[in-house]
């Protein structure tokens, strides 16, 4: 056989066999800020129910575009409540299934100790080069951070120092790598298993920003998938709530 | 108005970035390509491989490690701070530097191919006519490799315009400083402003097509021996 004749065979070998999701599998779109807890919840869910969860992490805006174009997701675990509601209006999500699985907390954080005081006075002093926030236009935690600065009357003063992350994960990256001295991040990113990450932080009072309600919803594609319903039920269980709370979320 | 001010700002920034990167790479990439062709050193293989690496590595991975390297605790960041420039992430010149690295193979490889195609003979002839190596390079090699230069510049410019993962990682999405058109389009999509995304994308598409069309139309048709 000439090498050229092998090409079609090679192509077939590379392309096939495509694994399709089984009935007892649920594919889940997970907002990136919920990555930590979900990595613990998924194995526990699989152990408790025998179903399998296929997880995809990303930004909610991207998931919205994908779901609108028939992405194979059964469940959306969102970073906000607006996107699930929007999908319901589009006829792509089941209204009755939606619930708030966690309430997000905003925190001002520095990877260095002693930079952020426990009252957030550092924002008024302004003795830093960069402050990272998630893009307020696209991310709820970013919008919350913008609201905090506005309420404190510091939005104009801080504007030139702002660096925008595509999502809250990137705002965290900028701060964790020391490229920005400060960052508004999700508490879930610096609080794991009841422990704060090294550095200094200010837990922003909830009165300074609108509540960050993170909703989960069943998508039309997962309507008759028992694994999808089981996952949503499991998210409400005490075992799941314990993990969620240990990552700095409330209910 | 078809585009918003922030869209126009993003386009202008993109053109500035791609232009700066192309000019810098022309100066940096030409000697590298020439050396890769002419050198007999054993480490020319490894260097060639390093130059090609950005083709293989995922852009967001490159961006993340550039963020670490150029950050206040990274080796490049330490150097720029010692020189009094300060850390480069979230600045226009930081983007330029990252893009120079990222687009390097797009400048070097077409030039390398063009220089290789010239062969030994024309340079030997130049030498017998007492041209110094530098003289021979500018009066013989560069004119003969002109189509290669054009291709290299087009590819570098186009590749920088289309860059996304790297700028997203080290740029910080600052309007007028690091928010280039690709990031602006991405933001529109993420914010579910699909009409704005369509408009800006269409403008970018037409602009890119016209630039490429102009350059290819102007490109000389290959002559015998080239």
pLDDT reported for residue B180 = 94
Kindly state whether residues A220 and A173 are assigned to the same domain. no
Confidence of residue B176 (pLDDT cuts 50, 70, 90): confident
In a mutagenesis test of the B interface, which of A164, A168, A199 is the best target, namely the one with the most B β-carbons within 10 Å? A164
Q: What is the mean pLDDT of residues A29-52?
A: 92
Kindly state whether residues A30 and A84 are assigned to the same domain. yes
- Is A146 a residue whose pLDDT tops 50? yes
Task: Report the gap between the CA of B174 and the closest CA in chain A (Å).
Answer: 6
- Give B36-53 as a 3 state SS string: HHHCCCCCHHHHHHHHHH
Task: Answer with the residue of higher pLDDT: A71 or B32.
Answer: B32
Task: Report the gap between the CA of B84 and the closest CA in chain A (Å).
Answer: 15
Confidence of residue A69 (pLDDT cuts 50, 70, 90): confident
Task: Report the gap between the CA of B57 and the closest CA in chain A (Å).
Answer: 20
- Is B200 a residue whose pLDDT tops 60? yes
Kindly state whether residues A177 and A123 are assigned to the same domain. yes
Kindly state whether residues A97 and A141 are assigned to the same domain. no
Which residues of chain B are within 8 Å of residue A65 when distances are taken between CB atoms? 189, 192
**CATH at residue A153:** 3.40.190.10
Confidence of residue B219 (pLDDT cuts 50, 70, 90): low
Look at residues B21, B11, B20 and name the one whose alpha carbon lies nearest to residue B207. Answer: B11
The verdict on residue A154 lying in a domain is yes
A163–B172 C-beta distance less than 8 A = yes
- Is B69 a residue whose pLDDT tops 80? yes
pLDDT reported for residue A18 = 56
CA distances from A202 to A110, B45, B145, B222 (A): 9, 52, 60, 66
B189–A65 C-beta distance less than 8 A = yes
pLDDT reported for residue B225 = 46
Q: What is the DSSP letter of A183?
A: E
A64–B192 C-beta distance less than 8 A = yes
Task: Answer with the residue of higher pLDDT: B164 or B224.
Answer: B164
Kindly state whether residues A77 and A114 are assigned to the same domain. no
pLDDT reported for residue B131 = 86
Query: What are A71-100's pLDDT values in tens digits?
Result: 889 999 999 999 999 999 999 999 999 999
pLDDT reported for residue A16 = 65
Kindly state whether residues A197 and A221 are assigned to the same domain. no
Q: Which of A203, A222, A238 is the last residue of a domain?
A: A203
Which residues of chain B are within 8 Å of residue A129 when distances are taken between CB atoms? 86
d(C-alpha A146, C-alpha A149), whole Å: 5
Which residues of chain A are within 8 Å of residue B72 when distances are taken between CB atoms? 178-179
Q: Which of A31-35, A157-161, A200-204 has the lowest mean pLDDT?
A: A31-35
DSSP H or E stretch at residue A58: strand A52-58
- B91-124 in b/e form (b: 16+ CB < 10 A) is bbebbbbbbbbbbbbbbbbbbbebbeebeeeebe
CB–CB of A161/A155 below 8 Å?
no
Q: Which of A170, A185, A203 is the last residue of a domain?
A: A203
Q: Which of B72-86, B176-190, B204-218 has the lowest mean pLDDT?
A: B204-218
Q: Which of A8-17, A220-229, B7-16 has the lowest mean pLDDT?
A: A8-17
Q: Enumerate domains of chain B plus CATH numbers.
A: 5-39+48-218 (1.10.3720.10)
Kindly state whether residues A48 and A168 are assigned to the same domain. no
The verdict on residue A251 lying in a domain is no
Kindly state whether residues A86 and A120 are assigned to the same domain. no
Number of domains in chain A: 2
pLDDT reported for residue B3 = 82
- B192-209 in b/e form (b: 16+ CB < 10 A) is bbeebbebbbebbeeeee
Q: Among residues of chain A, what percentage have pLDDT more than 90?
A: 72
Host domain of residue A135: 106-203
Task: Report the gap between the CA of A175 and the closest CA in chain B (Å).
Answer: 10
Kindly state whether residues A7 and A84 are assigned to the same domain. yes
Taking the whole predicted model, whether its pTM rises above 0.90 is answered as: no
Kindly state whether residues A181 and A60 are assigned to the same domain. no
Confidence of residue A194 (pLDDT cuts 50, 70, 90): confident
The verdict on residue A136 lying in a domain is yes
Residue A179 contacts B where some CB pair is shorter than 8 Å = yes
Q: What is the mean pLDDT of residues B17-31?
A: 96
Which residues of chain A are within 8 Å of residue B89 when distances are taken between CB atoms? 174, 179
Kindly state whether residues A69 and A37 are assigned to the same domain. yes
- Considering only alpha carbons, which residue of chain A is nearest residue B90? A163
The verdict on residue A208 lying in a domain is no
Kindly state whether residues A114 and A195 are assigned to the same domain. yes
Confidence of residue A106 (pLDDT cuts 50, 70, 90): very high
ipTM tops the 0.90 cut: no
What is the rounded average pLDDT for all residues in chain A? 90
Return all residues near A5 (Cβ < 8 A) that are at least 6 apart.
Answer: none
């Amino acid at each position: 056989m000439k090498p050229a004749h092998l090409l079609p065979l090679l192509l077939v070998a590379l392309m096939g066999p495509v694994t399709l999701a089984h009935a007892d599998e649920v594919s889940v779109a997970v907002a990136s800020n919920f990555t930590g807890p979900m990595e613990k919840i998924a194995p526990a869910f699989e152990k408790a129910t025998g179903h399998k969860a296929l997880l995809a992490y990303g930004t909610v805006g991207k998931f919205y575009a994908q779901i609108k174009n028939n992405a194979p997701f059964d469940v959306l675990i969102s970073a906000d409540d607006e996107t699930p509601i929007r999908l319901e209006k589009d006829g792509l999500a089941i209204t009755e299934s939606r619930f708030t699985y966690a309430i997000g907390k905003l925190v001002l954080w520095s990877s260095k100790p002693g930079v952020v005081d426990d009252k957030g006075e550092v924002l008024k002093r302004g003795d830093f080069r960069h402050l990272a926030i998630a893009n307020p236009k696209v991310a709820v935690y970013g919008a919350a951070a913008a609201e905090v600065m506005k309420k404190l009357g510091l939005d104009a003063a801080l504007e030139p120092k702002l660096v925008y992350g595509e999502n809250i994960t990137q705002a965290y990256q900028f701060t964790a790598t020391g490229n920005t001295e400060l960052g508004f991040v999700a508490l879930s990113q610096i609080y794991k298993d009841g422990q704060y990450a090294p550095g200094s932080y200010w837990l922003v009072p909830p009165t300074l920003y609108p509540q960050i309600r993170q909703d989960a919803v069943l998508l039309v594609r997962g309507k008759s998938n028992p694994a999808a319903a089981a996952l949503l039920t499991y998210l409400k269980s005490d075992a799941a709530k314990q993990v969620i709370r240990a990552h700095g979320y409330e209910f | 108005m078809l585009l918003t001010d922030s869209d126009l700002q993003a386009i202008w920034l993109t053109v500035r970035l791609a232009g700066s990167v192309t000019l810098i790479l022309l100066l940096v990439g030409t000697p590298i390509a020439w050396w890769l062709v002419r050198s007999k050193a054993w480490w020319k293989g490894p260097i060639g491989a390093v130059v090609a690496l950005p083709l293989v590595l995922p852009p967001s991975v490159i961006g993340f490690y550039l963020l670490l390297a150029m950050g206040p605790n990274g080796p490049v960041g330490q150097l720029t701070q010692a020189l009094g420039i300060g850390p480069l992430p979230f600045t226009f010149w930081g983007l330029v530097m990252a893009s120079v690295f990222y687009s390097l193979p797009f400048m070097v490889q077409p030039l390398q191919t063009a220089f290789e195609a010239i062969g030994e003979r024309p340079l030997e002839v130049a030498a017998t006519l007492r041209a110094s190596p530098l003289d021979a390079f500018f009066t013989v090699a560069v004119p003969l490799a002109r189509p290669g230069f054009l291709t290299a510049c087009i590819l570098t410019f186009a590749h920088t315009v289309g860059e996304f993962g790297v700028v997203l990682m080290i740029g910080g999405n600052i309007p007028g400083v690091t928010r280039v058109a690709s990031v602006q389009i991405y933001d529109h999509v993420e914010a579910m402003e699909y009409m704005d995304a369509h408009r800006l994308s269409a403008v970018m598409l037409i602009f890119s097509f016209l630039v490429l069309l102009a350059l290819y139309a102007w490109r000389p048709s290959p002559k015998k021996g080239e």
